[in-house]
Chains A and B, each alone.
Chain A
Amino acid sequence: MTTDSIPVVRTTCQGAWWRGLPAGLAAFVLLALVAGPAWGMPQEAAPEYRALPFISSRVLMWAVAELHLMFAAFVLAVPMFALVIEFIGYRTGDKRYDQLAYDFTKLLSVSFSFTATLGALLTFGLLVFYPALTQYLVKIFSWTFLPYVLLFFLEAFFLYAYYYGWGKLSPRLHLFIGLMLNLVGTAIMFIANAWLTFMNTPNGIDDMGNLTSLWEAINNYTWMPINIHRLIANVAFGGAIGAAYGAFKFLGAKTLAAKAHYDWMGYIGIFVAICALLPLPFAGYWLGVEIYAYDQSLGITLMGGTFSWLFIVQAVLIGNLFLAANYYLWLSMARIPGAERFRGFIKYLLGVITLCFIVWATPHSLVATVEEARAMGGSHHPILNVLGVMSAKNTAVNLLILTTYVSFLLYRRANKEATVSWARIGNWIQFGIFAVVVIYVVFLGVYGYFVDAQTRIGLSRPQVLSVLFAMASVTVIDLFLFKNAKSRGEIVWGKISARSQYALFFLAITFTWLMGLMGYVRAGMRQHWHVYGVMRDTSVDAFTPTLGFAGGVVSAIVIVFFLLIAIVFFLAGLSGRKDWTPKSGSRWNEEETTVSTEPA
């Protein structure tokens, strides 16, 4: 087992340009110092592993890989919605959107350098600590490095062009550069994903581990599912971090205008994150199916065996995500006149969310003392058992999604009063759709207990489709219902409590922690293999650690990530500052003002 990682061979000094070069060099020197003792030892042939004093090399590589991944996810995700927002601004001519897109983009350049630096660190680390594994992967994937490096160079070019060219190029050209940035970024991720999915589900090799088909090695069982899963998850993650930036600036804002702008930014960010969160369970489901298809025992290790408790922790995280997202929407209603009307609904929504949360977090195998087991008459509880299985959990997650949607719906119509003649009927139709879909989803969940497993797995599809149908049809009705609606007053951006901004931080931290945890399990399910079924991990770190240990490492990674992201926020904030001027009028004054107002 290694880390969540992409064995990235980043020869990227040219990619990071002047920014990445010194950082990369510094990282290299640092690493040379750290690994010095190991290199100094007399070498007998090529060692398979090298160790570090004080910290296990696996944990170090784990942290570096995960941090690299988080920054990479951020750098890939932000251009996606920045481009969309910029496009909206271009079409509507509304300057606010343009400004918002630019605010998101400001976070990119420093993050990009961090990504490159961490990638370089990861590469050096793999070479130093896992030379045999690295050598093997390089042997398999040598032909993919060239396009990777080329793409990385293009990524750097488009990214800086997109950032520095803001407002300086024609809007169409700028949008085109943004599009290219996204395409190149996605291609880079696809290549890196090939390397790491190969480690989980190797393909295209013979019994001796020699490459027979590079394309099959790339297009292995989990490559496409991981590509899609990561693409969506990146957007959710990027949105959440962007929202955290908005919250950070909001709390520090002095003027009402700034408060309004950053409140809006936080709202948009979290809106993007939640929208991307909703389809994520289905992408994850596909990934799971492919893992089972590749090797049953790999699937069972993941879902039923060693890692089954990890998914209870995951349920706690996702339950918290939904709870916090709804909480933020409820608090956001404070900025809308007329929202008081919907206050009363909150407790019912909260009740449903809590119930679903409880169902989702109920484990299938219980932790019970002997006394308790005797009282239950066995190791399974007759009632909890009903909640611990797939049918109940699928139903719970579908209802969670629907409840979040209802919260959003209430938020959306908070200051609106329908003026169309059929308003009353329209409301009833919407309510009817919800009622029918909820009953249908619950019915399918209950029905699942009475059919065999094969049919039960098939039931999740109509559940999902009916929820999607409800959300789509209600949205369409809502659009017509509130056409020319009477307004109870404009949304007062910036009129919101500090608590809500902490909810945004909470969401960002929870997203990050969740990403760290799932990264761990994706790599961890290989257990004592570097490349599953092909290359054994024979290092001292071949064991799978306890969940508590893994949780500790993930927590540490998350804290370090936020320290680094704080630096990104700080640097991004500099560009908004006024030019530095000496206290008293001196002769430096004139020169200072001619210096560029764009410290990056």
Chain B
Amino acid sequence: MGYTLDFGWLNGAVGMIARGAAMTIFLIAVTSVAGTILSIFGAAARRSRYPILRGAVGAYVELIRNTPFLVQLFFIFFGLPRLGIRLDPVIAAMLAMTLNMSAYTTEIVGSGLDAVPKGQKEAAAALGLQPWLIFIKIILPQALKVIFPALTSQIVIMMLESAVVSQIAVRELTYEADMLQARTFRAFETYFVITLVYLGMSIGLRRLLFAAGRRAIAGGMA
């Protein structure tokens, strides 16, 4: 038992860790925006008049929610080139993360839409607003207000799950950790530091989103 922890390598590694963290933040930023927009369409489609559209979105949601993210990632990155669709690792990661997240947030956004009283829509219609304007100006802001906490949690979960995209060689935080430990032979210390970085990022992201949400809601959102 002569093992002593050594964090001496950390000095030269700050740059790599920062670059990896920046990539992780970039991925989650793109995914949050794209995923939320996609899930608004998804939730609207799930409540549309067309049974085929409702069925298709329902099948997509169930398929994604009942399979592991890692398998979805491998399917997109390794499987799609078989069909002639070859994707850059970063693009594949963003696609997989967006598709994964929007399956969960479609349900969340949907429950928000259902929570808006029917009278809101009727009142807006009585004022002569166009249907799409009613959706964007009246229904959606109220729905987003209700679902904001759930959406925040989902974004944080997605950020933690994004560690997996290191497996297709996207140079994010976990990938840099793998590189570092291969170079320093200090696997435990490396993953310990990186875990702390993730912990800090998830706490920070949660705080940031809540602060932003409070301000937007106080300001009336739309």
A and B associate in one complex? no
